[in-house]
Structures are given as C-alpha cells and as structure tokens.
Amino acid sequence: MSKNWIIGFPRIGEQRELKKILEKFWARECSFDEAEKVARKLKERHWRYQQSADIEHISSNDFSYYDNMLDTSIMLGAIPSRFTGLKDEELYFSMARGNNDAVAMAMTKWFNTNYHYIVPELSAKDSYSLNAKKILEEYNEAKTLDIKTKINLIGPITYLGLSKRIDGDDTFELLYKILPIYEELLSEISKLDKNIIVQIDEPYFAKNADPKILSLIKPTYDRLTSVASNIDIAVVSYFEHSTEATKVLVNTKIWGIGLDFIYGKENLESLNVIASNNKQLIAGIVDGRNIWKNDIDDTLLLLNQIGRTVPSKQLIIASSCSLLHVPFTLKYEENMKPEIKSWLSYAVEKLDEVSLVSKLYFDDEKSLSPRDNEHIKTSRVDNINRRNSVLIHDKAVQKRVANIGKWERDLQFDERIKIQREKMDCGILPTTTIGSFPQTVEVRKARRDYKSGNLDHSSYIDEMRNYIDECIEFQEECGIDVLVHGEPERNDMVEYFGEQLKGYGFSQNGWVQSYGSRCVKPPFIYGDISRPRPMTVEWISYAQSKTDKIMKGMLTGPVTILNWSFVRDDIPRSEVSKQIALAISDEISDLQDAGIQIIQVDEAAFKEGYPLREANIPTYEAWAVRDFKIAVSTAKPETQIHTHMCYSDFNDIIRTIEAMDADVISIETSRSGNRLLQIFKEAGYKQEVGPGVYDIHSPRIPSVDEMVKQINLLLEVLPKEQLWINPDCGLKTRKWEEVRPSLRNMVEAVRTIKKEI
C-alpha cells in the first residue's frame, strides 16, 4: 500500500463546469437542482481521478459551491443578521454575493495566494448552532461510490484568525463559543463509520507564532481529540513552516501533523518531536502551488532526509497544500510548444507525482508497473531537458543582470520635482486617471478577432486608434490635465506585457479559481526575460501626437508582473524580478526618447507579494524596492515617474513606499475618507500623492459636492502642492455612461475648490 495524501483538490472542473452552471443558476437560467447534479458529477470525477492515481487519502468536503470559509460559517451558523430569514442556497449565495437588500460579505486573499475567501463577521452576541449537512452528505456521497474519504475542515483557530469582529477586535475571545460546535460536529462525524480521519486545516499556524495564539492550541486540540475515539485528527498547515505550533501540537492527542516542506524548509527542525511523540507526519513534498514537473530525484533526497528521523510507519507522502492553487489538467493544452509542456504539471498530473514518489519510497522497486517505470523515465528526462534547454538560458540577459551598476535616479526628488514643474506646469491639484477607460464590447471583440486572425493588422490598428481618439477627445473636452490613451489594446495588465517578453509562456486552459466562479489564467515565466522590441511606444506616441496636453505612458511594474505569474523555480524570484525590471527600464528609455514626459509604472500587486512571516519581510522589501528602482532608473530627472497601487493601508510600509522614490503615487482611498492618508503626513512623505476621490468599484456616479467634500478632506491632511486628483483605479470595468459624468464631476469639483482657495 502506498501511503499518500492529497490535501485538497480543485473543484471548478477541468472545463470550468462549476463556474458555468453557477453563473447559469445566478442568471436564473436553471434550477439549483441542476447545479447540484453537475456538482455531484464533478465530485465523483475528481475522486475517480485520485483513485486511479492510487491516492490513498482522498478528501471529502474539499468541494465548495463558492468558498470553504463560507461553508464553515454556514456549518457554525455564523450568519450576519442582515441575512436572517433566508435559507439554503439563497442564504449561501446572498452571503457570498449580496442581494437587493443586503450587501455581500467582504472577501480577501487566502494567505499569500490569489484565492479569495469570504471573511466571517462575528459578534459576541451571536449564538451558534451546528449545520453539518454538507459535510455528512459529501462523505456519504463518496461512500456510496465505494470511496472512503478523509473529511477536510478548516480549523477553529484559523477560522477565527481570519474573521472580523463587528463588535470589537479580538476574534479569539469567541473560541469558547465555536468549540462546542466543532465538538458536536466531530461527534456527528464519528457516527459515519468505524474509523474516520479528519484533516483540520490550520494554515494560520504558518503565519502567526504569537504566544497568545500558541497558548490556544493545546486546550483546543485537547478538547477536539477527546470527542470520539474512532476519529483520527490530522492538523495540517502550509505555505510556510509552523515549527512553533508543531512543538505544542505534538503534546496533544492528535494523530498526525501535515507540514509543507516546499515553502517551509524549517519544518525539518520539527522531525524529532514528531517522531518521538509518535505522530504521523504528512509530509508535503510535491509543490501544490506551482506548475513545474516534480523532480523525482530531488524529492527522494528530501524524503530520505526526513526518513532518517521519521520511520516509514509514521510517514505519509503528500502535496504541499491543496491543489486548488494550480490549474486542473494539461490534457487540454493543445497549443503549447511540446517542449515547454513537457516541463509542466497541473493538479491531475501532480496526483501521479505524489503517488509515484510514495511507491518509490515505500515499495519494492520491483513492484512498480511498466507505466510507473515509463513515468519515472520521462520525468527524469524532462527535468534534465528543462535544465539544459536553450529556451531558458540567455547569456546576454544573465550578463546584464550581473553587471547592473547604479539604480538611483540622477537627482534627488526635491531637485527633480523643480525641473519637472518648470517643464510641465500642471498647476495645483492636477487631474488625471489611472490608465484604462471602459473596455467596450467592440474593443474586446476587435482584440479577439485580431488574435484569432479574423481581423487584419491594419484594421485592428485603426479600431484601436479610433478608440484612443475618442478617449482623448473626451478627456480634453472634460478638462483633465494629464491624459491617458485608455489601454484598449490590453486584455490584462500583466498578460499584455508577458505576451511581448521573451521567457514568458501562456496556457490555453490553465484556469485557477480566484473567488466564487471567477478564475484567472496566470501566465508563466519559464526562462530568462528580455524585451525583443518596444511594447507600448507606438500606442503612446500615437496618442501623444493627437493632443497638445501631456500624455502619460502606462506600464506594469516588475513586482506586479512577477506576483501575478507562475514563476520558474530554478532561480530565485528576486533574480527573475530583476530581469523584468531591466526590460521595463528599456521601455521607459524608449518612451522618453519618443517624447513622453510622464510615465506611470503600476505596482498593483506590490503589497500582496509580502511574505507570510515577518522575518522574511526585510528581504522582500529590499529586492522589491530595488527592482522598482531599476525599472525607473533610466528616467531622466525631467521625466516624471508615477506609480499606482490598488489599496490604501500603507501604515506598515510607508517607509518602503517612500524608498521606491516615485515622483507621484496614486492610491485607493475614496472609501476611507482621509484617515488612511494621515500616515503620509505623519511620515513626512515628500513626494506627490494622488488619493482616489471616487470609488470605481461601484457603478454609482459621485456628485460634484461629494467630491468637493472628499478633496477638502484630503487638503486637511496634505498641502495642495502635494496632491493630485484622480479616481481610485483604472476604469476598464465601468461603462462610459458612468465614467463620463463621474470624470466631469471630478474636474468640476477641482474647479470649485480652486476658486475657493
């Protein structure tokens, strides 16, 4: 028997079947029964995939119609009061997506992944009660198919750690209220079968080693392990090491501990206590977050190292985390270069990898099937080929990276800004936008047709130029000071650049769930990055030629390009980022030579790239700032560099933002008044700031009065000389009918204020 384990499996379906049926249901084009039917089929198919790969420990309750955290709120009966009166799927989807009477619950990133969960809203007044229906049913669903599953739950400490209190701060105060529900649930589970394994996910342990959190672990797990003697509890964490929590967990009666040895090498320090306390170690050794084919020999080396301390009878081999974070199967990648495809592995392929490694480790080699042997052979060859491929290694890029000299701009900000003001004179409170304008049906269609060969090059250019003309005409008429071309040629701010950079690959069907039914298809970086030719210069120069006003050039920054891609794992991320930075610096140089005076380098994902563990933050900040600076280092003092970030809470990172040394930063603040701007004042931030004055995430058209008030609030914090006026973010998801009046009102608001001043 191969002892192996999959933490969790993607549920959206290999052809995004779940997405499609949910959206149909939401549009009232089918009943929920139909959606349930599809869901049952998917669950079975996903279990069968795992079964046929010889996976021993397959999960139930890793399926979800929207999100597992939301499922946990339902299980506990943690329903915010605005949803009372609703039930079943109506309740569930109202919590996730809102309804006519109640706004949706907030959603945020699951640790450092691009998956978003629904944030529980708790209050001391709540009374909780168990709803175990989904969990019990899913177990029985598998059982009728003759598949014995382990049951996945999100642990109480992680659940509380990721919740928010609506009546205070400390969510952990509510532990005593939710533990009885977990106990009741385990008691229900214990009736399902003679012996059952329950996997309790506690990734919060990988992020937070606060003594207060650590002190909760033993009492919690002492209670949960006392509920039923026929349940074996395995506590798993991932994305980082959790050595501190492990020390506590080994002294409880849990049966097993799951650790991530890919993203938490320090977990090796825990082997001794796990072995000596007789716990099962569920060793996450196949990368569940990246798309590269596993290197069997490296993995066996790691396993042998683990095996020197932990005996085989205590060892189970696993994926490093749920496979939710990688695309489904390579089966549909028909357009990919075969050489590149041979380096990759998605969720279905990873099943085989986990299974194969466990056979190699535990079983006699003679017991391997011909298929297994074949698999091992190709896997070895593919990995060697990848290492040596000419597609990956570019001497010229490596040499350039090794020889980067200085990356500071020629003059300090104080001096640069004088030169810039003299040259451009945008006046006080200059108005601008973040880059994109509404992506109309026509624009999307033109891009699609061009890509598929149904629209010829010159017609495509004409269509895009017409759109740019319209954007410019509107901005001039509206009276905006610094214009943009509107980004009609871009489907996505990372993909657009990725497609033009050497070393980047794209998938056809590499969808990964981002939230609910929403999936993203991240591009992947497989080789050294370079820029064969300018990427934006023609569009921006064309736009500049159509106006006497200043046209702002628009680029995506290196850290964001990196954070929204799958990244090669054979060199450090910081090296990859540096390569991208050099490519961007070339683009800036070309834009500048073409007469562009302001260039914005978007770093929307700068903050989300932060490591989970505080100890790793300084290193990340150092290279992330370095690479932004490398990217803009080719800008002359008179070229004004803007950056844009899609969030507002800079309290912890204001010094880092300052160190990036952009001349102007635009941020998202419209929903927080001037509260979050205070930090710029407190920190003595000198560079210019464009705090968003209206929320682009809503179709609402803000009035002149409203924005006058908003701008006055900003002026209470920062002097008028330091402020720009702009929306929160790009406008591409909005309609022209919303954007036109909103921007007119924004400009009008600035006029009103200027008169008052």
The residues that touch Zn ion, with contacts defined as CB under 5 A, are: 646, 729
Shortest Cβ 646–ligand GLN spacing (Å) = 5
Shortest Cβ 487–ligand GLN spacing (Å) = 6
Question: Is the separation of the CB atoms in 242 and 264 below 8 Å?
Answer: yes
Shortest Cβ 556–ligand GLN spacing (Å) = 8
> Is residue 156 at the binding interface for ligand GLN, with CB under 6 A as the rule?
no
Alpha-carbon dihedral sign for residues 526, 531, 534, 540: positive
Looking at the Cβ atoms of 203 and 435, the one nearer to ligand GLN is: 435
Looking at the Cβ atoms of 153 and 729, the one nearer to Zn ion is: 729
Contacting ligand GLN (CB under 6 A), which of 604, 664, 696, 753?
604
Placement of tokens 């080396």 in the chain: 301
- Is position 393 annotated as part of the catalytic site? no
What tokens does 118 get? 């629904």
Shortest Cβ 638–ligand GLN spacing (Å) = 23
> What residues does 556 pair with on adjacent strands?
602
Buried b (16+ CB within 10 A) or exposed e, 383-412: beebeeeebbebeebeebbeeeeebebeee
Shortest Cβ 724–ligand GLN spacing (Å) = 15
Looking at the Cβ atoms of 73 and 640, the one nearer to ligand GLN is: 640
Looking at the Cβ atoms of 96 and 729, the one nearer to Zn ion is: 729
Contacts of 542 (CB under 8 A, 6+ apart): 465, 468, 485
Binding-site size, ligand GLN (CB under 6 A): 13
Placement of tokens 């943690």 in the chain: 78
> Is residue 493 at the binding interface for ligand GLN, with CB under 6 A as the rule?
yes
> Is residue 661 at the binding interface for ligand GLN, with CB under 6 A as the rule?
no
**Using CB distances below 5 to 8 A depending on partner kind, what does residue 727 bind out of ligand GLN, Zn ion, none?**
none
Shortest Cβ 733–ligand GLN spacing (Å) = 9
> Is residue 495 at the binding interface for ligand GLN, with CB under 6 A as the rule?
no
Looking at the Cβ atoms of 435 and 510, the one nearer to ligand GLN is: 435
| Interior angle at CA 445, CA 504 and CA 25, nearest 5 | 95
Question: Is the separation of the CB atoms in 46 and 138 below 8 Å?
Answer: no
Residues 261-300 interacting with ligand GLN (rule: CB under 6 A): none
**Using CB distances below 5 to 8 A depending on partner kind, what does residue 554 bind out of ligand GLN, Zn ion, none?**
ligand GLN
Residues 417-476 interacting with ligand GLN (rule: CB under 6 A): 434-436
Buried b (16+ CB within 10 A) or exposed e, 106-141: ebeebbbbbbbbbbbbbeeebebebbbebbbebbeb
Looking at the Cβ atoms of 353 and 602, the one nearer to Zn ion is: 602
Shortest Cβ 468–ligand GLN spacing (Å) = 14
HSE toward the beta carbon, residue 388, CA cutoff 13 A: 6
Whole-Å CA distances, 40 to 44, 329, 454, 698: 6, 19, 39, 35
> Is residue 667 at the binding interface for ligand GLN, with CB under 6 A as the rule?
no
Shortest Cβ 692–ligand GLN spacing (Å) = 11
d(CA 39, CA 704): 48
Residues 726-745 interacting with ligand GLN (rule: CB under 6 A): 729-730, 732
Looking at the Cβ atoms of 122 and 493, the one nearer to ligand GLN is: 493
d(CA 626, CA 607): 15
The residue whose Cβ lies closest to ligand GLN is 730
Shortest Cβ 493–ligand GLN spacing (Å) = 5
Look at residues 591, 520, 578, 493 and name the one whose alpha carbon lies nearest to residue 550.
591
Looking at the Cβ atoms of 306 and 604, the one nearer to ligand GLN is: 604
Looking at the Cβ atoms of 293 and 732, the one nearer to Zn ion is: 732
Residue type, 172: F
Helices and strands in the chain, H and E counts = 28, 23
Look at residues 650, 420, 510, 729 and name the one whose alpha carbon lies nearest to residue 12.
510
> Is residue 646 at the binding interface for ligand GLN, with CB under 6 A as the rule?
yes
**Using CB distances below 5 to 8 A depending on partner kind, what does residue 732 bind out of ligand GLN, Zn ion, none?**
ligand GLN
**Using CB distances below 5 to 8 A depending on partner kind, what does residue 493 bind out of Zn ion, ligand GLN, none?**
ligand GLN
DSSP codes of every residue in 344-407: B--HHHHHHHHHHHHHHHHS-GGG--HHHHHHHHHHHHHHHHHHH-TTT--HHHHHHHHT----
φ, ψ for residue 583 (rounded to 5)? -60, -40
Contacts of 503 (CB under 8 A, 6+ apart): 392, 394, 525, 526, 527, 528, 529, 530, 579
Contacting ligand GLN (CB under 6 A), which of 254, 472, 554, 599?
554
Contacting ligand GLN (CB under 6 A), which of 116, 375, 644, 734?
644
Residue type, 622: A
Shortest Cβ 553–Zn ion spacing (Å) = 17
Residue type, 716: E
Looking at the Cβ atoms of 435 and 498, the one nearer to Zn ion is: 435
> Is residue 602 at the binding interface for ligand GLN, with CB under 6 A as the rule?
yes
**Using CB distances below 5 to 8 A depending on partner kind, what does residue 495 bind out of Zn ion, ligand GLN, none?**
none
Of the candidates 46, 375, 642, 697, the residue annotated as catalytic is 697
> Is residue 532 classed as helix, strand or coil in its secondary structure?
coil
d(CA 599, CA 537): 11
Active site residues: 697
Residues binding ligand GLN (CB under 6 A): 434-436, 487, 493, 554, 602, 604, 644, 646, 729-730, 732
